Structure formats: structure tokens, C-alpha cells
Structure 1
Amino acid sequence: MKSRFRPDRGLTRRMLWTTFLLGLIYVVFTAVLIALLRSAFLAVVIAGGLLFTQYWFSDRIALYAMHGKTVTPDQAPELHGVIDRLCSLADMPKPAVAIAEVDVPNAFATGRSPTRAVVCVTTGILRRLDTEELEGVLAHELSHVAHRDVAVMTIASFLGVLAGLITRFTLYAGFFGGFGGGRGRSNGEGDNTGLILLAVVVVSAVVYAVSFLLTRALSRYRELSADRSGALLTGQPSALASALTKVSGEMAAIPTRDLRQAEAFNAFFFAPALAKGFSLSSLFATHPPLDRRLAQLGDIARQLGQEY
């Protein structure tokens, strides 16, 4: 079902290009593993099962992990009212609506399709934003739903999960003398086993790194796309900019422990929950820098003839 969210050809091209590259790497990766190990069946089956579970039950998993609970219109009339207006404006199915009792000011959308989607907001963001700012945030999240971002990112992350699993299995096998490592040392088979294990670890690590960087780059672009689509849908880019500024600033007041617990969900969040100090999030960000997002919203406001 098409929505009135403006199509983003740049996002579509990047999704297709990233999928193609990851698919190509996957084919090469599988061929190398089969050549080295004679069989990669177990790792593929396990990773495939994880992919299926993540894809099919992503809405339930995310809500459970964030302690989110679906709410009815009677329980949260204002929140439902905003989402009702935006879905009518976008001509898209209304997702389930949830609230997480968390002080970290944020929101996220999850679900494998627009008809199986959930939009969740935290109590922290509800307390801090006014109606127009909240509308901008929810338009951003509904854009993710309309563009099927969650499904695409889940599939795109499959190769990294597979590579990580195979790396672990190979290391465990090496530690415990797997693949015949304890036999045939007199004819050099033990040395060959060690080289094979090392080769698998190196190949898997390289594949993981490449897939990680590709999915992070796609993630950053899709956040810009959601900002752009949400701002154009509501016609109020300044409200979304205000929400971004307020949420990012309020993160500094959140206890570090709470931020670190939330960091695992940064790829889904409206704004990243970053604790102070060194972290992978600061090196390989899921979101573009705040000033980049604000600059884009400023350009949109000027295009609409608005002051910013």
C-alpha cells in the first residue's frame, strides 16, 4: 500500500545498492566457507533462524526489551489523536501505539510491514515535547514504517550476524581441537587445521566489518530521509528541529547507566542515546550528526518559504 509520504529515490537507490553489495559479499563468503570447512550448514541455519525470528517478531522483541506496552485510545487519547491525524494525512494504515515507562526521551518504530508496525514513545519524550514537536517526531517514525526501513535493516544486518556467529564457532572449534585438530599431526593435518581456522576467522571478521559499515551508512541516510519525509508531511520542519534539539540536549541529564542500557536500540531510536566516553556508537554512528540534520531541516523550511 502506497502512502502520501514523498518517495525518496535516493533512499531507494541506497537500499538496493546496499542489498546488492551485501548479497554479493554473502555469496562470496559462503563459497569461501564451503571451500574451507567443507560445510557451513550449521552456521547458516542458526543465522537464518535468528533472521527469521528478528524479522517476524521484531515488534514484540523491541517492545519487550524496552518495557513498552500497547495503549488504547482511552488510555492515551492525545497520543492516539496525533497518530490518527498523521496516518490520515499520509493515507497509511494506523500502527499499534505503545508507551515505554522510560525517562530517556525517545521514540521508535518497529515491525516487518506497515500493517504489522508499532510506534512506541517513552514517557520521557511525552513529558518534554509539546504537541507540534511530538507530531514531528511521530511523522519521522511513521516515515520509517511507510518506507519499510525496519524490514530492510533487519535483512541487511543478516550477513553481519552470520559472520559474527561463524567467527565465534570457529574460535570455539579451535580452542577445543575441532575439525580434527588433535589428529594426524604426524602428517601435517594439525597444521593445516590451524591455518584453516585462522583463515575462517580472518574472512569472517573482514565480512563482518564490511557489512557493519554498509548497514551503518544506510542507517544514517535513512534517518535523514525520515527527517525530510516527516517535515514535508507536516509542513513544520522547525517543530521537528526543535524536537531534535530538545531531545539531544536532554540526553545529558539522563544517568549514564540508563543511556548505556538504551544504546543497543540506537538504530531504531529517533535520536541516539549516547553515554559519555568511548563507544562504538561514537565511531560508527547509526544517526547523522545533529548539525547535519538541523541543516537539512533549515533547507526544507526555506524551500517552504518559512522562517527558521
Structure 2
Amino acid sequence: MEPAVDARGRHLERSALTALLPVVALLPFWLLAMVVIWLPVRLIVDIPIWVLPLVWLVAGSLLFIPSVQVAVLSPLFGARQPTEEEQAIIAPIWRDLAIAANLPSYRYAIRVIDSDELNAFACGGHLVVVTTFALEELTDRELSGVLAHELSHHLGFHTFALTVGHWLSLPVIALARIGFFFQNVARAATDSFVSHSAALTALGRIASGILYAISWVFLAALYASDALGNLVGHGSEFEADRRAVRMGYGRALADALRQVIRLGGGTRTVGWRARLTTSHPPARTRVARIEAMMRHPSQ
């Protein structure tokens, strides 16, 4: 591990701010979803229109409590506690990382996903998830580089906007799915029960078309928010790489990325559509940048 440049402590990085752009783009559609949900709710409980969004935001704020975060997000991602064997691998690496970042190791929780992908990710504000394949295929040194990168996401507050965006997207996703469901029901009912009447058939198809259009409004908002998130997310990956280098884990991270390339990943996306659906920069590009940063640490 190369000598570390001081990169300790948490501070707000530029990509944490640009990551708010997808949240801002999604916000009007979330508010619209809240209104749509409020309309039937008020028939049961007479509440002001502002109560439902406020309750949703307060409930979302609980996700930033570490214990709640781990309890809610771990099952959501299908993650579990490490086994004794896995913990024996993770614990000493994480202890050294905490020392390098000048943080208590207990501030963050490590969870494991049973997967045959070489992957790890940071979520919430205190959770790091790593796959079993990464634990099996990477050396301890390479794994330390990967975990340093994920810790760097937390230290730069990169995961804050992502968590908020995911929480706001839930009612939008729900309404899109409900809309498509009722659109299918309306179309099936029209074909089955009123096909003998031209007027009723037209009415059923109009209802089906309206539901379809409403569903696509919410779905398009999700696609646009995700695409914008992928575009600005590349900056957070480069910033996390930079901090990992400054912590002294640059060569370990570069070697881990070379493993990704060896297993068939790291190819450059071709075309703007592919770039909009890719959340990470190419591994080869990241390796080149990491090596450049190690050659010129002051830049």
C-alpha cells in the first residue's frame, strides 16, 4: 500500500451536489403521485393535501438512522450478515480502512449478497454491500481497494441523494405499475364484455388509453431520472477513486478493476443510449485515471 495523502474525515464533495439533479427532476412527479394517492385516501380519512407528502418525507428521514438503514435496506437488497469465514476476511481490512480514514470502524455496517458478480456498492449513509463472488475471487489486497472506494462514497456524501431519490421514486413506481395493471384490466374487460357495443367498446378503449398515458408519464419520469443519475454518477465514481488513492489504496483498487476487466467487464459503452443506462465509467478508464493520479499525487 502506497503512502497515503491525508483524505480523512467526511466532507461534502461536488458530485454529492450534482447527484441532487435527478432528485430535483423527479420531485414534481413525486408530488403529482402524492396528489393521486391523496385523492382516494381523503375519501377514507379527511386530511389536508400536505399531510401525505410530509409523512412520506418524515418516514424517509428515518432511513438515515444507521440501525434503521441497516434493518430496512439490507433485506431490500437481499443482503445478509457475513458468515464467520467472511467476517474473518472483512474485519481486518475494514479495521485498517477505518484507521486510514480516522473513523471508528463500527460507524458503518458490512453486508453480503450471494451473487456471482464481482461487485460492491455503498448505500444509505452507513451501509456497504459486497458480493460473495468478490470475497471469493479478490485477494485481500484487492478487496481492500474495493472497500476503500465504497467507503469513499460515504465519506463524500455521494449516497445521500441516491437514497432520497430511491425513496421518492417508490410511489411513482407504484402508480406506474397500478396504472398499467388497470389499463390491462380495462382492455381485457372491453374485449370480453362490451365488444358487442361500439359505443361501450370506444369508451373502454378511451379509458384504457388514458390509464396507459398516465402510467407512461410516471414511467418516463423514472427513466429520465435514472438516465440523469447515471450521467452525473460517473463523477462520484471518479471522486471515490481519487479519495481511495489518497488514502493509499490506489494500486489495490486498480488491481481489483483489472480483475473486472479480466472477467469480461470494463468495456467502453458505445452510443448515447448505452451511456445513459450505464451507472459506472469503464473500468479501463478508471484504471488509467488511477495510475495517472498515483504518478502525479498532487493533482
**Same fold by TM (over 0.5)?**
yes
TM-score by length of 1: 0.65
Aligned-pair RMSD on alpha carbons? 4.2
Q: Deviations over 1:3-56 (max 9, x none)?
A: 8257463212212333223224434x449x75xx993759x89xx69x959954
How is 1:9-158 mapped onto 2 (pairs within 5 angstroms)?
9-27=13-31, 29-30=32-33, 34=36, 39=39, 55=63, 56=69, 57-62=72-77, 65-66=78-79, 68-71=80-83, 76-94=87-105, 95-99=108-112, 102-110=115-123, 112-114=124-126, 117-122=127-132, 124-158=133-167
C-alpha contact 2:16 2:161 (8 A) present in aligned 1:
no
Q: What's the secondary structure of 1:4's corresponding residue?
A: coil
Residues of 2 paired with 1:241 and 1:208: CA distance? 33
1:76-113 superposed Cα distances (whole Å, 9 cap, x missing partner):
44531121111122122322344556554333344x33
Name the counterpart of 2:173. Answer: 164
Deviation at 1:142, TM superposition (A): 1.1
Looking at structure 1, the residues matched to 244 and 208 of structure 2 have their Cα atoms a distance apart, in angstroms, of 53
Q: Structure 2 regions of 5+ residues with no counterpart?
A: 1-6, 43-51, 64-68, 268-272
Alignment counterpart, residue 294 of structure 1, candidates 275, 282, 287: 287
Aligned to 2:241: 227
Whether contact under 8 Å (1:160, 1:211) holds in the other structure is: no
* Cα 1:58–1:193 shift into 2, 3 Å: same
For 1:143-222, list aligned pairs within 5 A: 143-177=152-186, 193-194=207-208, 196-222=210-236
Note if 1:244 corresponds to 2:257: yes
8 Å contact from structure 2 (residues 146, 253) kept in 1: yes
Question: Scaled by the length of structure 2, what TM-score is found?
Answer: 0.67
Partner residue, 2:47: none
Structure 1 unaligned blocks of 5 or more? 253-270, 273-279
C-alpha separation in 2, matches of 1:70 and 1:205: 36
Q: Once the two structures are superposed, what CA deviation does each residue of 1:190-220 show, in whole Å capped at 9, x if it has no partner? A: 6763453243133223212212212222433
Are the equivalent residues in 2 in contact too, given 1:126–1:134 (CA < 8 A)? yes
Give me the identity figure in percent: 22
Q: What is the number of equivalent residue pairs in this alignment?
A: 259
- Report which structure shows greater RCO (CA 8 Å, sep ≥6): 2
Q: How does 1:237-276 map to 2 (within 5 A)?
A: 237-250=250-263
